[in-house]
Chain A
Amino acid sequence: MTRVLVADDSETVLLMLQRRLEMSGYEVVTATDGQEVLDLLDDGGDPDLILLDAMMPRMSGVDALQKLRAAGHKMPVLVISAHLDAQEPERMLSLGADGCVPKPFEWDELMKRIEELAGH
């Protein structure tokens, strides 16, 4: 089963993403900030895909992305960013993300991107 690590500081958003992904047959692990994401990766059991909210307290998704890439993790990362800035996706890709979707997201688009990246 494909494992997806989902990180978002909003518990309701996290729960919604988790249930929705579970409905589509994914195994879901959740984290509420960047540090938790790094801790989970250290514990092993690498996920097949990381879904990362760009803005989170303590450690942001952007920082976590840079740290996990620096630590040598190669799995695909999809960043969810609330910034509708036209340059935002490019910036995320340059930091090592494999994709960037705007927040709030359209389910169909999000699922399509997840399927592409997770090879589901």
Chain B
Amino acid sequence: MRINPSLTARLRIGFVILFALLLAVSLLGVGRLFQIRVDFEDDTARLFQLELETERMRSAFILEQAATRPAVEGAEPSASELDQAAASFAAAGGRARDETGGDSVLSGRLESLITAEAAWREAVAGPVLRGRSPPPKVRTRLTSDVTNSAEALSVASRGARDSIRADARDDTRSTTILVVAGLIGALLAALILFSGLINSMRAPLARLVDGARRLAGGELDTRVEVGGPVEIASLGSAFNEMATSLERDARERDRIERMKDDFVLTVSHELRTPVTVVKGFAEMLTAQPNALQARQYEAASVISESAGQLQNLINDLLDLARSDAGKLRIDPEPTPVGPLAQRIGRQMRPSFEEKQQRLTVSVENDIPDVKADADRIGQVLSNLLTNANKYAQQGATVQLTAGRVGSEVEFAVSDDGPGLGEEELEHVFERFWRAQSGETQAVGGTGLGLAIAKSLIELHGGAISADSKPGKGATFRFVLPIAKDGK
């Protein structure tokens, strides 16, 4: 099993280890320094004591010598004074033994001093007390043996004291270096620990950020690799769950949307045949006016006209449903602008004449062909002209113009009718929206013409717009790309 502790656990473990390391280094270092100091002071005191005892032994030896050689002329050497001095020498020697601290050089020197003094008492003091003077040469040699031994012991103690001081200084320095090194090591370990912690979070967090951006950009199949500390890993899992849920919702929405499109498409399609039949038979009746009574003829005319409206509505709905389902297809080919505009103008002219309106069609000279589905653009133009015809008052003037603008051709249908308000302009391309103001209330139509026009123009890669001021008429413009192999 892979061990993957949580962030808090990692931090806690890190802090505990760091704290323990620092504590251990500090305690060891301080303890050792303290011990060095204590040892140094103990040794110094001991050696000082040793020197003191050495001096005492020297003094005692001087007293011993004095006892064997009285300063006052004619006085007898005193055995009691000699014994007293020898005792104090022995006592100092015994105390000095305790202060050598196991140092072989010091104890060797001390023992030779004690031995030399014993030899002096044996060979010099003993005979003198018994009244026989030892030969002066022997006396001088043994005396200087003692004196030299004492001096050697003093020198050795001083030397020992110097070397102890030097050792203590060296130990202090090395311990300080060790402590500093230990502290730096602990800090480095902490640094490595924390940067490892941060690194272990950085890659999974970067993946999450990247994943979130891609998800926001619409890539709903985005999933992130789950990893890193437990908290980051569970954030990754939660992110993936969210992405899955979003994807599922989006799929469901698309499915419902498709079902709706299919439904509208199917219904419109199924409605077309019966409406065609109704219209067909009604037209057959109205085609023989003489065979019908006036009332029958009137009824047949109304049926025929209504069936015609219904047919238009169904065709418009079908176009929009196809457009929504992405099934509205166009067949763009290089199309001459002039003949197209003239043809639509001709088709629409009867409607304009009915309202005593004037329709002018003007196409710029040498206009290039557009890349367009002629039938569909014809449909757009007749939708725009139908609107102008319906909304403008009796006797109005309506213009259909076409001209080149840059790499496109602009078509414009303008009228001097009642126009549209700013707020109305925002809605003109919406489905089933109709201008509601004043005189235009009585106007029929499916309310889908401009929505279809917008879909068709956009399908051609063009753009359509409306421009109007209340009372100043309205202009609808759209642009189409020029055919590449056009004139």
A binds B: yes
Q: Is the interface of B mostly helix, strand, loop or mixed?
A: helix
> A105–B280 Cα gap in the complex (Å)?
10
Residue numbers in A under 8 Å from B181 (CB-CB): none
Q: Mark interface residues in B253-292 (1 if CB within 8 Å of A CB, else 0).
A: 0000000000000000100111111001101100110000
Closest 5 CB pairs of A and B: A86-B331, A104-B276, A16-B280, A12-B277, A104-B272
B144 CB to nearest chain A CB (Å): 139
How many residues in A have their beta carbons less than 8 Å from beta carbons of B?
A: 17
**A23 contacts B by Cβ under 8 Å:** yes
Residue numbers in B under 8 Å from A107 (CB-CB): 280, 283
B272 CB to nearest chain A CB (Å): 5
In the complex the two chains form, is B284's CB within 8 Å of A104's CB?
Answer: no
**A43 contacts B by Cβ under 8 Å:** no
> A12–B287 Cα gap in the complex (Å)?
19
Chain B residue, CB-CB nearest to A8: B273
Residue numbers in A under 8 Å from B272 (CB-CB): 82, 103-104
**A58 contacts B by Cβ under 8 Å:** no
Task: Report if A23-B287 is in contact (Cβ < 8 Å); known contacts: A12-B277, A82-B269.
Answer: yes
In the complex the two chains form, is A20's CB within 8 Å of B280's CB?
Answer: yes
**B311 contacts A by Cβ under 8 Å:** yes
- List residues 67-120 of chain A with CB under 8 A from any CB of chain B: 82, 84-87, 103-105, 107
Q: Mark interface residues in B205-247 (1 if CB within 8 Å of A CB, else 0).
A: 0000000000000000000000000000000000000000000
In the complex the two chains form, is A86's CB within 8 Å of B276's CB?
Answer: no
Residue numbers in B under 8 Å from A103 (CB-CB): 272-273, 276
**A66 contacts B by Cβ under 8 Å:** no
**A2 contacts B by Cβ under 8 Å:** no
Mark B residues whose CB is within 8 Å of A.
Answer: 269, 272-277, 280-281, 283-284, 287-288, 311, 329-331, 373
Mark A residues whose CB is within 8 Å of B.
Answer: 10, 12-13, 16-17, 19-20, 23, 82, 84-87, 103-105, 107
Residue numbers in A under 8 Å from B329 (CB-CB): 84-86
A109 CB to nearest chain B CB (Å): 13
In the complex the two chains form, is A104's CB within 8 Å of B273's CB?
Answer: yes
> A19–B291 Cα gap in the complex (Å)?
15
Residue numbers in A under 8 Å from B277 (CB-CB): 10, 12-13, 16
In the complex the two chains form, is A104's CB within 8 Å of B281's CB?
Answer: no
Residue numbers in A under 8 Å from B273 (CB-CB): 10, 12-13, 103-104
Chain B residue, CB-CB nearest to A9: B273
> A17–B287 Cα gap in the complex (Å)?
15
28 A-B residue pairs with CB within 8 Å:
A10-B273, A12-B273, A12-B274, A12-B277, A13-B276, A13-B277, A16-B280, A16-B281, A16-B284, A17-B280, A19-B281, A19-B284, A20-B280, A20-B284, A23-B284, A23-B287, A82-B269, A82-B272, A84-B329, A86-B329, A86-B331, A103-B276, A104-B272, A104-B273, A104-B275, A104-B276, A104-B311, A105-B276
